[in-house]
Amino acid sequence: MNPYWNDAPAHAQWLNDRGTKLGSSDCPAILGISPYRSAVDVYTEKVYALEGRTPYRLAEPFDISNPLQRGHLFEPVIARAYELTTGLQLIAPPARVHPDADFIAATADRMTMDGTRLVELKKVHWRNADEWGEPGTEQIPDQYLAQVHEQMAVYNVDRCDVVALIGDDDLRIYPIRRNKSLCEMIIDQMCDFWGRIERREPPEIDWSGTVTARTLNALRPPQAGVTIDLGDNGATLAAAYKREKQTAKDHDENADAIKCRLIDAMGSAETATAGDWKITRRLTKRAGYTVDPTEYVDVRITATKGKK
């Protein structure tokens, strides 16, 4: 039995295709409204793909708690429930690119047989039900509103039904009408962002967002033998990181955010000193046993001799 939720060769091709375009799933991160990814994540992913390299594994073991994997698993069920509820038949449409910007693409989950309406399928955890309004309204999370407007702009349709299966049995349909001004704003922002990618000009990091250590390490990989001194500010951050790690588990997010700031300050350095602290980043290769071989950066923040 295949233990992976995605086929590795197919996923590799998907990553390559996705890497050369900006898609609807990238749109919320570019706009700064995604709770899952940052603009820096998107920038790094695209630059890596365009340069023929990827920091991600090609095959991923199935994990039902992963929202992306869970959503793919439930797509056929939600689509069929929509058909039975509305009496409309759906097809899986091919991917399309924007007529005026061939680096902007979209792949809608489903489309009605007559091609006049897109259908976006969402599997929502019951704990997140309060993020969704009454069925029949346009009260859906902002990231999904932006996502479907990008799709409507690319497919040139005026309606997208967002179908949310909340928990096991709460099916809600939200008819989203195309807002042309919003579509234009989104496409303009995505065009500006693609310009950054072409110029290799990374966006500013939003420290209040979802930037991760993995992204920063991919954006600025450590160069062997390069050392930098981070001064008093680095020492303050390193000490704060250690304090957060030694407290309750719910402080892990704070510690991760501090670690990201240290990585960003290091630039391409492999080692940094900061007062009584030392920060090291080592590119490590993980052997491929049940998954493909991968590389990752091991980041360690340690006290110098005599510091506790």
For each of the domains in the chain, give its residue range(s) and CATH number, in order of start. Answer: 8-199 (3.90.320.10), 213-303 (no CATH)
Q: How confident is the model at residue 248 (pLDDT cuts 50, 70, 90)?
A: low
Please tell me the least confidently modeled range out of 101-105, 119-123, 226-230: 226-230
Conformational region of residue 122, where left means phi above 0, alpha means psi within -120 to 50, and beta covers everything else:
beta
The predicted structure's pLDDT at residue 207: 64
Range 243-271 average pLDDT: 75
Mean pLDDT confidence for 89-100 = 94
How much is the pLDDT for 289?
43
Mean pLDDT computed over 131-145:
95
How many other C-beta atoms lie within 10 A of the C-beta of residue 74? 16
Confidence class for position 93, pLDDT limits 50, 70, 90: very high
pLDDT, residue 210, reads 59
187/214: higher pLDDT = 187
Q: What is the tens place of the pLDDT at every residue in 172-194?
A: 999 999 999 999 999 999 999 99
Which pLDDT score is estimated for 150? 97
**pLDDT of 94 over the 60 cut:** yes
The per-residue pLDDT for 224 is 82
Please say whether the beta carbons of 165 and 81 come within 8 A.
yes
pLDDT > 70: percent of the chain? 79
Task: Give the residue-averaged pLDDT of 83-107.
Answer: 95
Mean pLDDT of the chain: 82
For residue 286, what pLDDT band results from cuts at 50, 70 and 90? Answer: low
Q: What is the pLDDT of residue 68?
A: 72
| Res 239: pLDDT | 85
Q: Would you state the pLDDT for residue 211?
A: 58
Strand partners, 100: none
Residue 130 DSSP symbol = G
In contact, 115 and 92? CB cutoff 8 Å: no
Residue 5 pLDDT exceeds 50: no
Q: Is 155 in contact with 108 (CB distance < 8 Å)?
A: yes
Over residues 51-66, mean pLDDT: 65
What DSSP designation does 288 have?
Answer: -
- Map residue 183 onto helix, strand or coil: helix
Q: Is the pLDDT of residue 256 over 80?
A: no
71, two tokens: 């959503």
